[in-house]
């Protein structure tokens, strides 16, 4: 890795200095409580930019790690957000910013949910409490937010490709700057990472890749690659780096207390450590090293960044490091909600709320729980059901299914393209696979969806979670494109349930259908609707009139066509509208369209025959290419009644822009999709 001429730390740190400092690494703290009061962090408070680190001694860097970790705990308690991954990379973040001359040198984070410490050290310390809130810091690195955020991220396995692009562009321009990519073991399972590594060797690019191995993604890391990393760690050896930058095989110093009986049964002897996967591809490999040992990281990375060509430094860390509960439960502490207010009034209100809730029905189910319940129910009745997910077991509500039907559950790690084609292969053998995937991640398997599933009209069902606006995770995770990219594909059937009960039965309907289907539902809890048993089969492509409000002889008749969870807002808006004397007198037909494809065109013709004067479509999706566009296409191209009567029409949805992070309610209001916003747009249409 060529050295940046701007860096004041271009020389490797002396071995003697690091040896004397190594004993200090044991002073790092472990905390058991999230502080409610802003902790005392004098060293951290002195850092406004990474250059302020240049005068720190190794001992001060170790103390800084404690302060930074405590500050992250405090900030997470105030704002919520990603948690475990950030605690795990505190030392690595400090060392990278100490050794590199950012922002001239480029740090590229993969996924980006571990970049909170990076934000703190790059001038955003006092803003961290605003993270994930409207007009506050983004949950992930974003180029518009800071010059230190070199690449906008949110999806995994992109860092090596982006970093390679930067390195090649810098080389072309004759600029000697370091590019460092930080990628986790979970993200490394994505095929894009290996495509980039292959090309980095092909290009003989100067690229430093730091593999942060914590044996976790969101779920536990699985598969052959995870076992390969375990073999490297459990061997008891490491490929160290000499002062000249050459690989040196030696015993790992932390292995004295390691129980060698825990070695993986498939582990080979030491030569396999030297012939590891990364070296076989063509990278210069060093590791594994303790990612929480600051003196060790300083020594290794200061040397590694001077090695030419593609270099990979393998470190192992603990997700949730320094916070004891998170170390014990890294999945549960992947992200947390902010701490509740702690005062007498809040306690009284909370107690009263609990009493009130106890007297009512059970809390509304999350849509992921509805899917999980359906999955278990259906699997018990049909042994052809297999379930596939790309590392979303917990988030998609599949824990119970995986426990009760382990031989029918397939978590393929962060490999969305593979997940889709794997299901296609299953379907060729008379099996009914269900792919559980978030809307934003299905985008990554689009070619496979078209070519491998739909083109062959294979019997695959997609359970699409996190559809619509997702709140604090922001634009990178919003599922607002799926209607558009799904409905243009031949053979696809697309359902959009209005509530939990309808979701359950639409899942059943699409499962029973022979062909490519998708059920699209949102993040979080539903309306509290009770799931009726047994499971029903709805007629595919048939909409439902929810209500007809207003007088039959009203001069204006509005057909309000709502898709998915927007049915509830449509109903409320219609009730308010028909009771508002300031609005032109109208009758409103609230229609639960239920299906995006095929559309209920018979229902549309019936409404036209009844003399509707206005039509409005309502969806939590982009207007362009969305469900409203499907209605427009039919009316303009197929409906003689529409061409003859020409009712006024408008589409209500998300305009042509990305929606910034904030609460889901704030995002809906920003788009005019809350009840107030819908009423305003309907009044404009009627006027």
- Catalytic amino acids? 319, 416, 444
Q: How far is CA 453 from the centre of its chain?
A: 24
What are the backbone dihedrals phi and psi of residue 123, each rounded to the nearest 5 degrees, phi first?
Answer: 90, 10
The Cα–Cα gap between 119 and 117 comes to 5
Q: Which residues contact 581 (CB under 8 A, 6 or more apart)?
A: none
Contact 95, 60 (CB under 8 A): no
Q: How far is CA 483 from the centre of its chain?
A: 19
The Cα–Cα gap between 438 and 481 comes to 12
Long-range CB contacts (< 8 A, 24+ apart) of 399-406? 399/372, 400/372, 400/376, 401/372, 401/375, 401/376, 404/376, 404/379, 405/376, 405/379
**Pair of tokens at residue 57:** 């001694």
Contact 532, 488 (CB under 8 A): no
The Cα–Cα gap between 530 and 537 comes to 17
Count Cα neighbours of 610 within 13 Å in the Cβ-side half-sphere.
Answer: 20
**Pair of tokens at residue 405:** 């039907």
DSSP class of residue 525 equals B
Buried b / exposed e over 290-329, threshold 16 CB at 10 Å, is bbbbbbbbbbbbbbbbbbebbbbbbbbbbbbbbbeebbee
The Cα–Cα gap between 526 and 543 comes to 20
- Smallest CA-to-CA distance from 476 within 57, 165, 151 is with 151
DSSP class of residue 125 equals G
**Pair of tokens at residue 667:** 């995002």
- Smallest CA-to-CA distance from 239 within 182, 279, 195 is with 279
What are the start-end ranges of the H helices in 275-415?
277-281, 294-304, 324-328, 344-359, 367-381, 399-404
**Pair of tokens at residue 371:** 């899917």
Q: How many CB atoms are located within 10 Å of the residue 262 CB? A: 8
The Cα–Cα gap between 313 and 283 comes to 10
Residue 464, H or E segment: strand 461-467
- DSSP letter for each residue of 204-249: T--EEEEEEE-SBSSSB--SHHHHHHHHHHHTSEEEEE-TTS-EEE
Helix/strand/coil for 197: helix
Instruction: Tell the burial category of 145 from Cβ atoms under 10 Å away from its Cβ (0-12, 13-18, 19+).
Output: middle
**Pair of tokens at residue 208:** 């430093």
Which single residue is written with the structure tokens 């012939």? 275
- Smallest CA-to-CA distance from 254 within 299, 209, 292, 303 is with 292
Which single residue is written with the structure tokens 């396999």? 272
The Cα–Cα gap between 613 and 629 comes to 19
Contact 469, 620 (CB under 8 A): yes
The Cα–Cα gap between 164 and 197 comes to 9
The Cα–Cα gap between 61 and 450 comes to 51
- Smallest CA-to-CA distance from 192 within 223, 226, 217, 157 is with 157
**Pair of tokens at residue 355:** 């009493």
The Cα–Cα gap between 299 and 309 comes to 19
């Amino acid at each position: 890795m060529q050295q940046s001429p701007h860096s004041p730390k271009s020389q490797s740190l002396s071995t003697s200095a690091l040896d004397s400092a190594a004993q200090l690494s044991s002073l790092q703290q472990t905390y058991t409580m999230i502080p409610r009061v802003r902790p005392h962090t004098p060293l951290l408070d002195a850092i406004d930019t990474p250059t302020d680190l240049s005068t720190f001694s190794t001992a001060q860097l170790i103390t800084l790690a404690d302060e930074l970790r405590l500050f992250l705990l405090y900030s997470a308690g105030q704002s919520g957000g990603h948690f475990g991954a950030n605690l795990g990379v505190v030392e690595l973040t400090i060392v990278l910013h100490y050794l590199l001359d950012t922002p001239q040198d480029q740090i590229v984070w993969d996924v980006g949910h571990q970049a909170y410490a990076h934000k703190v050290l790059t001038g955003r310390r006092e803003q961290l409490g605003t993270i994930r809130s409207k007009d506050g810091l983004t949950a992930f690195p974003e180029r518009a937010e800071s010059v230190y955020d070199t690449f906008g991220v949110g999806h995994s396995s992109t860092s090596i490709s982006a970093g390679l692009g930067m390195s090649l562009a810098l080389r072309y321009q004759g600029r000697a700057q370091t590019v460092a990519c930080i990628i986790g073991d979970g993200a490394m399972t994505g095929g894009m990472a290996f495509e980039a590594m292959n090309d980095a060797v092909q290009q003989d690019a100067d690229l430093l890749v730091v593999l942060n191995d914590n044996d976790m993604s969101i779920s536990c890391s699985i598969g052959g690659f995870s076992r390969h990393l375990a073999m490297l760690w459990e061997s008891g050896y490491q490929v160290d780096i000499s002062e000249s930058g050459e690989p040196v095989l030696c015993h790992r110093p932390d292995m004295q207390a390691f129980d060698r009986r825990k070695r993986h049964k498939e582990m080979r002897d030491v030569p396999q450590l030297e012939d590891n996967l990364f070296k076989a591809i063509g990278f210069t490999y060093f590791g594994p090293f303790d990612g929480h040992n600051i003196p060790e990281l300083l020594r290794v990375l200061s040397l590694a960044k001077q090695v030419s060509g593609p270099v990979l430094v393998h470190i192992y860390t603990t997700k949730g490091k320094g916070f004891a509960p998170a170390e014990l439960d890294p999945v549960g502490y992947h992200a947390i909600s902010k701490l509740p207010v702690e005062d007498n009034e809040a306690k009284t209100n909370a107690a009263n709320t609990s009493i009130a809730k106890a007297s009512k029905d059970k809390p509304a189910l999350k849509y992921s729980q509805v899917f999980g319940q359906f999955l278990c129910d259906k699997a018990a009745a049909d042994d052809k059901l297999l379930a596939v997910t790309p590392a979303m077991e917990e988030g998609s509500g599949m824990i119970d299914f995986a426990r009760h039907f382990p031989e029918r559950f397939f978590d393929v790690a962060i490999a969305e393209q593979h997940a889709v084609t794997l299901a296609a292969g299953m379907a060729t053998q008379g099996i009914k696979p269900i792919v559980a995937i978030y809307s934003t991640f299905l985008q990554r398997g689009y070619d496979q969806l078209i070519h491998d599933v739909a083109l062959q009209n294979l019997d695959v069902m997609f359970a699409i979670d996190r559809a619509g606006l997702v709140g604090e995770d922001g634009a990178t995770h919003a599922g607002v494109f799926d209607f558009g990219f799904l409905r243009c594909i031949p053979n696809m059937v697309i359902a959009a349930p209005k509530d939990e009960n309808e979701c359950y039965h639409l899942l059943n309907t699409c499962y029973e259908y022979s062909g490519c289907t998708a059920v699209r539902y949102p993040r979080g809890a539903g309306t509290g609707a009770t799931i009726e048993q047994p499971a029903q089969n709805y007629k595919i492509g048939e909409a439902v009139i929810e209500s007809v409000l207003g007088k039959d002889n009203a001069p204006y008749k509005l057909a309000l066509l709502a898709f998915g969870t927007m049915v509830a807002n449509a109903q409320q808006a219609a009730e308010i509208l028909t009771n508002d004397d300031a609005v032109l007198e109208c009758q409103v037909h609230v229609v639960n369209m239920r299906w995006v494809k095929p559309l209920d065109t018979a229902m549309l013709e019936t409404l036209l025959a009844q003399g509707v004067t206005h039509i409005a479509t309502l969806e939590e999706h982009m207007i362009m290419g969305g469900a409203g566009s499907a209605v427009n296409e039919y009316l303009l191209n197929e409906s003689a009644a529409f061409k003859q009567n020409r009712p006024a029409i408008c589409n209500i949805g998300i305009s042509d822009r990305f929606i910034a992070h904030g609460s889901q309610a704030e995002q809906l209001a920003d788009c005019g999709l809350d009840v107030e916003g819908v009423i305003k747009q309907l009044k404009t249409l009627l006027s």
